[in-house]
Chain A
Amino acid sequence: MKFKKVAAACLTGACLVGALGCGGGGGDKPKADNNAQSLKGKELVMYVSFHEDTAKELSKLFKEKTGCEVKFIRLPTGEAVARLQAEKDAPKADLWLGGTVDAHELMKQKGITTPYKSKFDENLPEKYRDKEGFWKGTYVETLSIGVNEQRFEKEFKDKGLKMPETLEDLLNPAYKGEIIMPDPAKSGTGYTFVSSLVQSMGEEKALAYLKQLKGSVAQLTPSGFTPAQKCGAGEFLITVNFLSDQTLVNNKGQKLHRTVFKDAGWSLCGVSKLKGGAHSAEADAFIDFMLSKEAGDILVKTTNGIACNPKSAVPEGLKPLNELPLFDKYDFAQAGKVKDELLAKFAAL
């Protein structure tokens, strides 16, 4: 009797799942099949500012789904920006994938990208996409304090210091000359740190804090990634940069203690369609694909970032976006507007 009940329940469950699956997929499936036929033999050229393996996995899955060949080269955000501007009159790519969203915003203003309204736009919360459809977010990068665990245990723990996890901790004179962070004038990561502080603390307080911190910082690097690397190698004890970079170093064996501090600044990595690219329909299809849960899962798996699509999984050991102590009101547009002014103030500190 009991067995029958369980079996029946299982069966019902299976049917339900099947029905849901069919129902859910019903709308999508035929379209996907259409895509598979229409894009077979077509190609798409992308400039990618993600890490190489992320781009590889995304293009592989996209090809499986649509049959479209994807060609790409990897360009760090800044190089992509320079190149897109130089190629403006006759773009050699169709899509720019990755790179912080302030850069995508700039490309929008310069008339280099073109809007695309996807029927899957709703997959993303509104704050993670451009209102006019120029760019869509893919995943969120959050700032974090990273500490070289091995060095802290060996050299600092005995002095009665506790693991630095807050912005206040960084001001401890014991860490003078041991902190490395990206240069706000040259790295988007660095600027995110400065501008989010100014927005969350208010300018006066933030600049006072930064002045004190600057005295302890050994190096301001041009690249957002370098601090994590040098901190991992033990050259410096503390890094302030994006969490995903720190996680990358950590997962390679150089252990970094990572803390997303209170009111941490964050940034989005975006995707934009380029105006005048040769493969317009393919670019649209790829943006549709980037809005899907599967694409989000790949991003999470390969970048340790948190996908903008709330349906995608959260990276191991991390909390979902709404539970992180991020500075929720961070305003990209405002940050971009005051950039020159703020950088001049930072330089004068």
Chain B
Amino acid sequence: MTESVSREKSGWAAELKVLTREPQILLVIGILFVLFACFIIYPFIKIILVPSASDWAAAFTGKEFYEAFWHTMASSLLATTSAMVLGFMYAYAMNYTEMPCKRFFQVVALLPTMAPSVVSGLAFIMLFGRRGFITWNILGLKTDLYGWFGLWVVQTIAFFPLAYITISGVLKAISPNLELAAQNLGARGFYLFRTVTLKLATPGLASAFLLVGISSLADFGNPMLVGANYHVLATEAYAQVVGAWNLPMGAVLSVVLVVPTLLVFFVQRYYLEKNSYVTVTGKPVSGLNRVTVSPAVRWMLFGVCLFIALTILLIIGVVFMFAFTRTFGYDYTFTMDYFVEGVLQSASMKNSWIASIATAGITTVLGILLAFLTLRRRFPGRAVLDFLAMLPVSLPGTFIGLALIMAFNSGVVELTGTLTIIIIGMTLRQLPVGYRQAVAGLSQIDKSMEQASTNLGADSARTFFKIVVPMLKNALSISLVYSFMKSMNTLSTVIFLISPEWNLASVNIMSLANQGFLTVASATAVGMMLTIFATFGLAKLLLRDQINIFDL
């Protein structure tokens, strides 16, 4: 490995030479490259080779293609912006104010991630749609959510939790001493916020924007449910494959989604690498209290948080009503039948749990390793590794799934139908989250502490475990918690990976909902939320202060 690469450019050679002094690091980098080559590059090449030149030509000459492309860009930009704005206000309120019911808000904010979008999206339509419980039955309004507006609202709710926890992690990592210093120098209110807090939060915010933006580009469930005649690339790609049985065209549309990802990626990289945003420097900050906001701002923020929380609760409430009443809207008799059928008599919840726990663990470890290497070590191919870690999130999940079965259906590594391939699929999907969280956390921490550790004689591994990991507790927690929740109800990625032995609860929920069994689907979704809560409770019990669950 060393020899083969060192024959390349001299700059690389120099970097490699430094690295050879740390064989462990070299080994880890080598392993990561091999893993990425196997599980990201190889499947991606497999699927990119499906369409022929004429398929590409056909796609680029159709007007549907351009329409779907602009729809995707527009809806994604809208939803990302609104989710970021709401997420920022929410996170700011949680971290910078003393408002009542904080714990309640923290728990509710994560709920949209716990319920599969199939169920919560349907619940949203039942509440506010053409025959919505609220819009039609109570208010008598004629509304129609199908189209870009409904999609905007639904995607905003769907991506709000990711925006919130990512931003919250960023705000938490900002050391209060700079803000206090600014305050001592006379900065107040919005001026202080704009010139200090916001400035320091910038890399984190950019990172969050990238993450949310790219996730929403590939979002499939929401446009499928409420987009109706407003087609986006992810739904078009899916429809081309499963509706028109045109795999090549679906592949073309999916690959196109990589373009905006590349764009966002380079802009962000260029922008971030120019500036330093280090605030955690190892100087003592304990005992310092954060500057808090004025009462007027506090109550305004409280209002915003309450509104968001109530909207979320309303939607989840409908899911519960579906799960535990005979026929919601007609017969409100309490029943446990659906819960028994969907959760207690089904093995798929256990499968989902096993796969999701494994995914959360792998994602978090890989994420922090990658972040540490790309930010703190110089080696050839650093940018490639960085990009590859982000690539899978921009592809529609169905394509990750299809690419994986095409790549690993036969031959040396035969994985179709196994638990392994499910975990690989889930990990590819969640890795960017774990990685981005670690990057955001790490870029706020001064290198000097690691250098101090090295100077005191610790090697890379020791520095990593003793210095880096403990400082990234919150980033690690976010990665664990979020990728666990997301994997539990991920759908598009695993649709093609499940097998009779390894069926998953999320696929069951969609299958049931699509067959009209909304009640059992909702009950399974409730079971999933309970499973997630129970797991978090257990984690808190076992790990105590070593993990943050809701105070992210």
Binding site for B on A (CB under 8 A): 45, 51-52, 71-74, 76-79, 81-83, 85-87, 89-90, 92, 103, 106, 183, 185-187, 218-223, 225-226, 228-229, 232-236, 245, 248-249, 252-253, 343, 347
Contacts and interface: CB of A to CB of B under 8 A. Distances in A.
A220 B64 CA distance: 15
Contact of B129 (A79, A92, A235): A235
Contact of B410 (A78, A90, A347): A90
Nearest to B136: A234
A252 B331 CA distance: 12
B500 A79 contact: no
A74 B245 contact: no
A219 B146 contact: yes
A48 to B, nearest CB: 10
5 contacts: A71-B500, A71-B501, A76-B514, A78-B242, A183-B243
B330 A253 contact: yes
Given A52-B512, A219-B228, 4 more contacts: A73-B498, A90-B410, A92-B417, A218-B146
Q: Which of A85, A86, A185, A249 has the most CB of B within 10 A?
A: A86
Contacts of A235: 125, 129-131
Interface string B497-516: 01111010000000110111
B100 to A, nearest CB: 38
A234 B131 contact: yes
Contact of A45 (B243, B409, B496, B500): B500
B402 A233 contact: no
B417 A222 contact: no
Contacts of B125: 235
Chain B contact surface mostly:
loop
Given A45-B500, A225-B516, A235-B129, A82 B327 contact: no
Contact of A219 (B229, B238, B239): B229
Chain B: number of interface residues, binned into ranges? 35 or more
Contacts of A52: 511-512, 515
Given A51-B515, A71-B501, A222-B239, A89 B410 contact: yes
- Looking at A79, A225, A252, the one whose CB has the most chain B CB atoms below 10 A away is A79
Nearest to A103: B245
B241 interface: yes
B496 A82 contact: yes
B496 A187 contact: no
A345 to B, nearest CB: 15
B409 A86 contact: yes
A187 B126 contact: no
B117 interface: no
B495 interface: yes
B224 A220 contact: no
B414 interface: yes
B405 A73 contact: no
Contacts of B402: 82, 86
A182 B130 CA distance: 19
Interface in B469-501: 495-496, 498-501
B501 A92 contact: no
A76 B242 contact: yes
A232 B329 CA distance: 12
B243 A86 contact: no
Nearest to A90: B410
Contacts of B410: 89-90
A187 B224 CA distance: 14
A77 B327 CA distance: 28
Interface string B327-348: 1001100000000000000000
A71 B501 CA distance: 8
B496 A79 contact: yes
B224 A222 contact: yes
